[in-house]
Amino acid sequence: MTRAHRAPDFRTSAMIAAAGALLALSGCNGDDTVSSASGLSATSSDSDTETDTDTGTTTATTGTATQGTTGSTSETSTSETTGPTTDTATTDSDSDPTTTTDTATTDSDTDPTTGTTGEVDSALCVNLGNIAGIGELNEAFVGAVLVDSRINGYFLNNTVDGANLVTCLNSQIADEVGCADVSYDCADMHTAHAGMGISTVDFADFAEDYGAALDAHQQSYPGLTDQDKADVLAALAAMAADIVEDPANDQTIYQRVGRKPAIRDVVGLIGETDSLLDLVSKDFTINGFFLASDFERLNTCFTRQLAGLDGPVLYGGEVDPPAAEIEPGVALDNPCAAMKAGHEGLTDPNEGDSPISYEDFVSLLTDLSAAMGAAGWTQADQDAVMAEMSPLCAEIVGDPNECPGNAQTILVKKANLGLDIADDAYDGSLASMACVDLTVIDDGINYVSLIDELEVAIAHSEVGDLVIKVQAPSGLVSTAMSRPGLAEAMDDGEGNGGDKSILKANFPVTFRDAGLVDAELMGIGNVVCQDDGLCDYHPNPDSGEGTNFADFIGEESKGTWRVCFGDAEPGGMGSVDEVSLVISKVKFQPKP
């Protein structure tokens, strides 16, 4: 009858969860149907009694089956029948008299009462202990793989699905060795392993673990011969072409440096000379952050982080370890911390409880570089690791905008405008002003850390008539200057007075929060900037909106900025020739 697949009784739930990654190595995703021919020679002798329910005929059959070849005897059969239907051995009289072909006729359809085809297990299947024994073999093999640090990086991740592991692995081996009524119907080897980056040494270690499991299995099943074991391993070896994607063991940093064991040694522990954690413990710049650390857990998490840069390990996807010495300090419900959450709020008691700075981050990378160099990693691999680690700065330091690439300063400018300012049109609204639009693109660094300066080149006969305002893309408005020399009761364009000095376009003025002169005092000389040498002002809104350019800190920079010019008294005429805005931007919104 059809044999049930025996699921191994794993000793810990962690083994079941982690071993799920073997779904891939055994093609166990259940997507494709593949019937594998083992190609293994097998001789079997069996005796069976079968009842044909369609005819009521009972046939007793005995025989010996061997691999058939043309020109050789492939099967002999005698039959004794009762009932209305008789299976009769026939001989083709036209056949070569020196050879005998298959002459017995056999009903190969599955028996509806038993679900079997009438096939028998091969000798190799029997020697392995049939389906139950194969289950025991695979249980031991899985256990060995999970504690093998050379290859368990593929398996100890919480994304693996162990639901079909045992069924697929058992059916694959059972099908390969010729167990009856078993058909491997999980994914083919090439599909199952595509993109995993398995190397030649990975595959060799995998096969070595299976060989060791076979050796141990032989102790419980003495009928299993050395040739049997060799045949099983030969069948596995034949799969290498479909599984190995990195034949020279050099396509990734992970493979080139020696995989997980070598990475673990580079991370090390306190007292392990030239290891990362030993160097960190001696680095006064940053060791204060680690005073209360669990260093075994740190080793596990640092190792998994580096092994996950381009290797098979999923940082943050830890499972319950299959043994105490395997990845200590982590568990399915206690994974390695996400970078931002794991470092948020950390302070250094050596530096007055200061948060992690960019300099601290650089110190950590410097220690890592020293550890990699001491281990003999090539400069190219060290550089590649640094390139992968550097973006983590923004998730680790207290102010991520300190990190290179997270801040920039841009200039947006329009020149040769010839934009007239309508005389006596200003009523306090932007609609009554002449405005210049300046566009800031979205480049991923989109928060204002500072409006460094606004520079304007204006020709106007009376500076005391003018109001200058800046509007952010959000609509927020801040007033840079409002009618120098006149204290307005309201920002409505009413009232007379103000300074009578002249502005010339070839003597532009600048506004910035650190400017030398109050904008309300503009106009000491006859021609501003030209005669008095005062060209650098800090904003003064008077009765207008805002306080200074700090109003814009934290605003989104992307979009259209407007710089607007209003004239609040009759008789003074003017125009805008040039406007430029210098904006410092950061990737992350600054804290208020």
Contact assessment for residue 95 and residue 101, using Cβ atoms and an 8 Å cutoff: yes
Residue 521 has pLDDT above 90, yes or no: yes
Instruction: Note the residue count of the chain.
Output: 592
Q: DSSP of 30-96, one letter per residue?
A: S-S-----------EEEEEEEEETTTTEEEEEEEEE----TTS----------SS--------TTS-
Supply the angle between the helices 130-146 and 200-220 in degrees, to the nearest 10. Answer: 130
**pLDDT digits over 58-96, tens only?**
333 333 333 333 333 333 333 333 333 333 333 333 434
Lookup: tokens for 121: 């297990």
Lookup: tokens for 421: 């300012």
Which pLDDT value is given to residue 379?
96
Residue type, 267: V
Query: Stretch 192-198: mean pLDDT, rounded?
Result: 90
Could you tell me what percentage of the chain is helix, strand and coil, using 3-state DSSP and rounding each to the nearest 5? 30, 20, 50
d(CA 321, CA 302): 16
Predicted confidence band of residue 189 (pLDDT cuts 50, 70, 90): confident
Lookup: tokens for 537: 């002002």
When mean pLDDT is compared across 95-99, 213-217, 353-357, 383-387, the lowest value belongs to 95-99
**pLDDT digits over 533-583, tens only?**
999 999 999 999 999 999 999 999 999 999 999 999 998 889 999 999 999
d(CA 552, CA 346): 29
Which pLDDT value is given to residue 117?
55
Class of domain 407-586 as given by CATH = mainly beta
- Distances in Å between the alpha carbon of 495 and those of 286, 403, 481? 62, 50, 16
Residue 373 has pLDDT above 80, yes or no: yes
d(CA 91, CA 69): 17
- Distances in Å between the alpha carbon of 265 and those of 309, 333, 378, 522? 17, 26, 16, 68
Domain boundaries, the chain: 13-40+123-243, 256-402, 407-586
Residue 56 has pLDDT above 70, yes or no: no
Predicted confidence band of residue 50 (pLDDT cuts 50, 70, 90): very low
Which pLDDT value is given to residue 103?
34
**pLDDT digits over 470-486, tens only?**
999 999 999 999 999 99
d(CA 235, CA 505): 86
How much of the chain, in percent, has pLDDT values that exceed 90?
71
d(CA 447, CA 205): 51
Which pLDDT value is given to residue 168?
85
When mean pLDDT is compared across 43-57, 283-297, 533-547, the lowest value belongs to 43-57
Which pLDDT value is given to residue 118?
61
Q: Characterise 414 by phi-psi region: left (phi > 0), alpha (psi -120 to 50), beta (else).
A: beta
Query: Stretch 147-175: mean pLDDT, rounded?
Result: 86
Name the DSSP class of 205.
Answer: H
Tell me which of 327 and 115 has the higher pLDDT.
327
Contact assessment for residue 436 and residue 420, using Cβ atoms and an 8 Å cutoff: no
When mean pLDDT is compared across 57-61, 153-157, 423-427, the lowest value belongs to 57-61
When mean pLDDT is compared across 145-149, 182-186, 435-439, 541-545, the lowest value belongs to 182-186
Find tokens 């997980």 and name the residue: 260
Which pLDDT value is given to residue 193?
86
Query: Stretch 4-23: mean pLDDT, rounded?
Result: 36
d(CA 323, CA 307): 20
d(CA 428, CA 399): 39
**pLDDT digits over 300-345, tens only?**
999 999 999 999 999 999 999 999 999 999 999 999 999 988 898 8
**Residue 9: other Cβ atoms inside 10 A:** 9
Predicted confidence band of residue 466 (pLDDT cuts 50, 70, 90): very high
Residue 24 has pLDDT above 60, yes or no: no
Beta bridge partner(s), residue 457: 578
H or E element in which residue 16 lies:
helix 13-19
**pLDDT digits over 221-276, tens only?**
999 999 999 999 999 999 999 999 999 999 999 999 999 999 999 999 999 999 99
How much of the chain, in percent, has pLDDT values that exceed 70?
79
Lookup: tokens for 530: 């030209």
Helices and strands per DSSP (H, E), number in the chain? 17, 15
For 470-527, give the secondary structure using H, E and C: EECCCCCEEEEEECCCCCCCCCCCCCCCCCCCEECCCCCEEECCCCCEEHHHCCCCCE
CATH topology of domain 256-402: Globin-like (1.10.490)
- Cβ contacts of 525 within 8 Å, gap of 6 or more: 501, 531, 532, 534
Which pLDDT value is given to residue 397?
94
CATH of domain 13-40+123-243: 1.10.490.10
When mean pLDDT is compared across 37-46, 422-431, 442-451, the lowest value belongs to 37-46
Which pLDDT value is given to residue 22?
47
d(CA 286, CA 298): 15
Cα within 13 Å of Cα(361), Cβ side: 22
Are 13-40+123-243 and 256-402 equal in CATH topology?
A: yes
Strands 44-52 and 536-538: unpaired
Lookup: tokens for 127: 């020697």
Per the prediction, the chain carries an average pLDDT of: 83
d(CA 567, CA 463): 9
Lookup: tokens for 466: 């003018």
Which pLDDT value is given to residue 161?
72
Which pLDDT value is given to residue 163?
57
Which pLDDT value is given to residue 553?
96
When mean pLDDT is compared across 49-53, 206-210, 522-526, the lowest value belongs to 49-53
Predicted TM-score (pTM) of the model is 0.68
Residue 205 has pLDDT above 80, yes or no: yes
